Structure formats: structure tokens, C-alpha cells
Amino acid sequence: MNNLGLIDIGGTSIKFAIWRNNELEKLPAVDTPDNLEDFYGILTSVVAQMKLEAQIVGVGVSSPGAVNKTTGVVEGVSAVKYLHDFDILSVLTEKFGLPVSMENDANCAALAELDSGAGRDVDSLIFLILGTGVGGSVIVDHQIWHGAHLFGGEFGFMLIDGHKTLSNLGTAVNVATRYNAVNGTRCSGKEVFQLAKSGNTSAQREVQTMYQALAKGIFNLQYSFDPERIVIGGAVSNNPDLIPAIEAEIDKLRDAVKVASIKPELVTCEFTDSANLRGAMVDFYQTFE
């Protein structure tokens, strides 16, 4: 397998790596600049060094936003506003002088898990990322399902309770927001979970609301797409109580919905800060194979 340059564009930093000898070699990250000219300067400089040092044959890019792989345009919105609404893929291809692939960051993370992580032995999976909101990816037959409007995997918009979405109810960030609003505190999500374990009933109520919302969303996804496995990522996936608590709520739903014979297979992700870079490699080879 030939050497590749890999780039993961984030709202606060840009990560770089070389894929060589089937291993990820991380390079120093840089702060994400606030303008397009500096962005191009940083990327072209690092890629030039990669070409000299590793003889890379192409560059895989993980990007925020809704990446249209047909037009090369990053649609939607993201924290890096200057990436959007023009054919950035063609610009980067010209500047690097190499083939370039580009995919949404959540989709890249899902591809990494499918290739060599928690989904390496399945053909279809759903990947849920629990952060400030809920995002993710749908993979069918080893391919990303982007959807007709590039909204494939935008699970956070699912309505779970009245007008409340999965993003409203299903994240540790919003557990903290709800708890703090009721109790006049400034706790983090992690602190609210700790309070819940120590017996604080208000914290327990908010944490349970999150588990119930995630269970309902996952139940609906299982019966909509019927994936072989559902992988959960994000910082909260490090909580050992997460999967058992969601499964307990799913069991209640299955008992209530008598025809629900399938129990979703839930696992946590294996890759953390390297997932997007690894997935950019997978996407490159899928794009140019």
C-alpha cells in the first residue's frame, strides 16, 4: 500500500499524519487559522514536506460540514466557515499536485471503525457520535450512505419527545445544561454523572432522560436500517455505565413493543483522536480504488 498524507480539519486544530507501512504516523498539529489564505499556506507547506519525506501518492482529508463528493463542495455549516460553498476539492488537488479525497469527519470516523476498529467484522453499521449534539454515519455494504441531501447520519435531528430532538435529550452536555438550569449550578456533564452515582435524585433524573432518549433513538435506527452493529463514540463512550444503561432501556422498549424481536448490538468505538485520520485513509482508497 502506497504512502498517503492525511489531514483532519477541526474547529480548533488541524491534525496531520502519514499512512506508511499500514501504520499511522502522526505529525504535529497546528491551530486552525481564521482565514482561507493562511489555511492554504499551512496545508500546502505540510503536504510539500510529506512529499519530500515520505513520497506520498495522495492526500485524504477529513472535514467538518456536509462534504459533497460529487461537486467537491463542503455544504451546510461548520466552525470553519471559509471551507464552505465552493469547489475546495479541486483547489486542494491543484495546490498539492496530487489526488485528493475529502469526506465528512463523522463519516471518516465511521470508516475507521469499519476498517479496523469496532466494526471490522461487519458489512453494515451505524455510528453514533455523542458530543455537544448527536451526529454519526450510516454504512451499508462498506459504503457511506450520504442520503439525497447529504443528511445521512444526522441522527441528532430525530424527534424523540414532542419537539425535543435526540441532540436536545441524548448528550452529556445537555444533561449538564438541564441539571444546572434546575439547580442553579455550573456542573459539567461528568460531574452530573458522578452526582447521579452518589444518589443525587435530580442528577439521576437527567442522566436517565439521556439514556431513555438514546435507547429510543437507537431502537428506531435498528428498525429503520437494521444494521449489524451500532457503534457509539464521543467522550461519554468512556463511561462504563453507558452501554448497560442504554441496553436496559432498550429492553423496556422491546417488552412494550411486542413485535420487537431484534436487540441492537451496541459497542463503543475503538479509535478516539486518530479515528478521523484513519478514516480519511480508508476514504481515499475507496475513492481511488
Give the model confidence (pLDDT) of 51-96 as tens digits: 999 999 999 999 999 999 999 999 998 999 999 999 999 999 999 9
Q: Which of 61, 140, 48, 71 is nearest to 102 (CA)?
A: 61
pTM higher than 0.85 for the full model?
A: yes
Average pLDDT for 102-131: 96
- Cβ(264)–Cβ(219) under 8 Å? yes
Query: What is the band of 289 on the pLDDT scale with cuts at 50, 70, 90?
Result: confident
Structural domains for the chain: 4-103+276-288 (3.30.420.40), 118-268 (3.30.420.40)
For β-strands 23-31 and 13-20, DSSP reports them as antiparallel
Q: Is 125 left (phi over 0), alpha (psi -120 to 50) or beta?
A: beta
Give the model confidence (pLDDT) of 248-282 as tens digits: 999 999 999 988 889 999 999 999 889 999 999 99
What is the Cα–Cα distance from 16 to 113, expressed in whole angstroms? 19
What is the Cα–Cα distance from 124 to 103, expressed in whole angstroms? 18
Query: What is the band of 124 on the pLDDT scale with cuts at 50, 70, 90?
Result: very high
